[in-house]
Amino acid sequence: MNIHEYQAKELFEKFGVATPQGKVADTPEEARDAAAELGDAIVVKAQVHAGGRGKGTFKNGFQGGVHVVDNANQAADIASKMLGETLVTHQTGDEGKLVGKVMVADAVEIEKEYYLAVLLDRESRAPVIVASTEGGVNIEDVAAETPEKISREVIHPLLGLQPYEIRKLSAKLGFSGDTAKQFGKLLKGLYQLFITCDCSMVEVNPLVTTPDGRVLALDAKFDFDDNALFRHPEIAELHDPSEEDPREVEAAKYDLNYIGLDGNIACLVNGAGLAMATMDIIKQSGGEPANFLDVGGGATQEQVTNAFKIILSDSNVKGILVNIFGGIMDCDVIAKGIVAACDEVDLDIPLVVRLEGNNVEAGKKTLADSDVNLVAADSLADAAEKVVAAIS
């Protein structure tokens, strides 16, 4: 799960991670009031999850989702051109994202940019702090070109961050005196936030020093462990469904694991591994998968019906492949779900079904006895070929 920049700022403030002064605003008036409390260099930023805001374009023609102004009235003017408008960046896709809030903050003067992140590293099975003197750029590029400029500190999973580890990283970034002290406080807060909120990653890029000697987190990216949200209702509330594919939001309501893609062959599968493999084989057979969809090992008829409706709500979809290996799951439950869904929606595109496993004969009979127009397949490879052939 991701959160907005202003929400990240609020979390930072709670954990003592220094950030530039600023506020979030819902209206141009609020933006004016927020700006009035700041100096004469003020930045107004559209709040969407996607990157590339600065170079983005609003659908009303207004250029740029990040603007620096020098007074409160200008801040209000810029905010009025962003709020309620749709911003298109290289990460949003052509449909763009609706901007409901702007952040109004002190546009700090930057002396030097750094990179700082805490992430849960699967190889070391521990939190790892990544720091670099190269900030404000893509860290993966730094890792590829100048890996010696990246420091990694593996933190003991049970002991947590130790003072000597902070000193080591501070020295590697070249901090001393008061900046070292400020960095130490910031890192300690950042680590505490990471652990307390069950993050899988918190990335501060850039971390900056200012000419007046401050160390500040200028921009941040969060990734929370979805599996831990049950114990963080306050974090779960930060979830903004308008930032997500509406099909994924709908699927989540029915406990379906759905990820929308750009292709035209939809698939419905039980099991995450088999669902991935089904996407792969669609591509291999010359088609393009429209989605990942795992209905799980214990899917009900209702879930299957809803899964079908979500698949069919995508106008790109020209064909459907159902691939079920019912180990314990009853193939007949899937079959009944398909029939029920087809009763409710008008199925006018090819449907290829491969059923195998538990109670498969009953499942095949349910499908055969129904009015549903479908093509039966023997194996997954056979099914993929049939669905690709059916739409071309």
Partner 1 sequence: MAILVDENTKILIQGITGSFGGRHAQLTLDYGSKLVAGVTPGKGGQKFADTVPIFDTVEQAVSETGATVSAIFVPPPFAGDAILEAVDAGVDLVVAITEGIPVMDMMKVRAAMKDSNARLIGPNCPGIVTPGTGENSHGGCRIGIAPGYIHKRGKVGVVSRSGTLTYEAVYQLTELGLGQSTCVGIGGDPINGTSHLDVLEMFNADPETEAIIMIGEIGGTAEEEAAEWARENCDKPIAGFIAGATAPPGRRMGHAGAIVSGGKGTAEAKIAAMRNAGIEVADNPSDMGQALVRAMG
Question: Would you call 203 a catalytic residue per the annotation?
Answer: yes
Q: Which residues contact 114 (CB under 8 A, 6 or more apart)?
A: 131, 132, 133, 134, 135, 173, 206, 207, 208, 209
- With CB under 8 A as the contact rule, which of the stretches 233-241, 290-298, 305-313, 342-350 interacts with partner 1? 290-298
191 is catalytic: no
Shortest distance in whole angstroms from residue 63 CB to partner 1: 27
Of the candidate residues 122, 177, 253, 348, the single one contacting partner 1 (CB under 8 A): 122
Of 74, 86, 151, 257, the one binding partner 1 (CB under 8 A) is 257
CB within 8 A of 176, min separation 6: which ones?
none
CA angle 75, 77, 82 (to 5 degrees): 90
Closest CB 326 distance from partner 1, rounded Å? 8
Identify which of residues 105 and 380 has a Cβ nearer to partner 1 in the complex. 380
Nearer to partner 1, 326 or 337 (CB): 326
Least distance (Å) from partner 1 to the CB of residue 190? 16
Q: Applying CB under 8 A, does 10 fall inside the site for partner 1?
A: no
**Within positions 74 to 113, which residues make up the interface with partner 1, using CB under 8 A?**
none
Question: Interface with partner 1 includes 147 (CB under 8 A)?
Answer: no
Residue 240 or 294: the one with the smaller Cβ distance to partner 1 is: 294
| Stretch binding partner 1 (CB under 8 A), from 11-19, 60-68, 266-274, 333-341 | 266-274
Contact (Cβ atoms closer than 8 angstroms) between residue 177 and residue 144 = no
Q: Is 161 exposed, middle or buried (0-12, 13-18, 19+ CB in 10 A)?
A: buried
Contact 269, 275 (CB under 8 A): yes
Q: Kindly tell me the burial class for residue 356, based on how many C-beta atoms sit within 10 Å of its own C-beta (0-12, 13-18, 19 or more).
A: middle
How many CB atoms lie under 10 A from the CB of residue 267? 30
Q: Which candidate in 6, 114, 115, 254 is catalytic?
A: 115
**At its nearest, how many Å lie between partner 1 and the CB of residue 264?**
14
Contact between 157 and partner 1 (CB under 8 A)? yes
In angstroms, what CA-CA distances link 26 with 23, 52, 305, 308?
A: 10, 21, 39, 38
Find the catalytic residue in 134, 203, 243, 385. 203
Binding mask 235-254 for partner 1 (x = CB under 8 A): --------------------
Long-range contacts of 340-346 (CB under 8 A, 24+ apart): 340/301, 340/304, 340/305, 341/304, 341/305, 341/306, 341/307, 341/308, 341/309, 341/312, 342/308, 342/370, 342/371, 342/372, 344/305, 344/309, 345/308, 345/309, 345/312
Q: Which of 327, 344, 361, 369 binds partner 1 (CB under 8 A)?
A: 327
For position 231 contacting partner 1 by CB under 8 A, the verdict is: yes
DSSP-assigned letter for residue 314: -
Q: Are 311 and 266 in contact (CB under 8 A)?
A: yes
CB nearer to partner 1: give 17 or 282. Answer: 282
| Region near partner 1 per CB under 8 A, out of 51-59, 64-72, 175-183, 255-263 | 255-263
Of 43 and 377, the one with the shorter C-beta distance to partner 1 is 377
Q: Using CB under 8 A, which residues numbered 344 to 363 contact partner 1?
A: 356-358
Query: Tokens 């538990």 identify what position?
Result: 358
Binder of partner 1 out of 23, 149, 168, 283 (CB under 8 A):
283
Give the count of residues interacting with partner 1 (CB under 8 A): 54
- DSSP code per residue over 153-213: EEPPTTT---HHHHHHHHHHTT--HHHHHHHHHHHHHHHHHHHHTTEEEEEEEEEEE-TTS
Catalytic annotation, residues: 115, 203
Q: Which residues bind partner 1 (CB under 8 A)?
A: 120, 122-123, 125-127, 140, 143, 156-158, 195, 198, 200, 225-228, 230-231, 257, 259, 261, 269-277, 279-284, 289, 292, 294, 297-298, 325, 327-328, 356-358, 379-382, 384
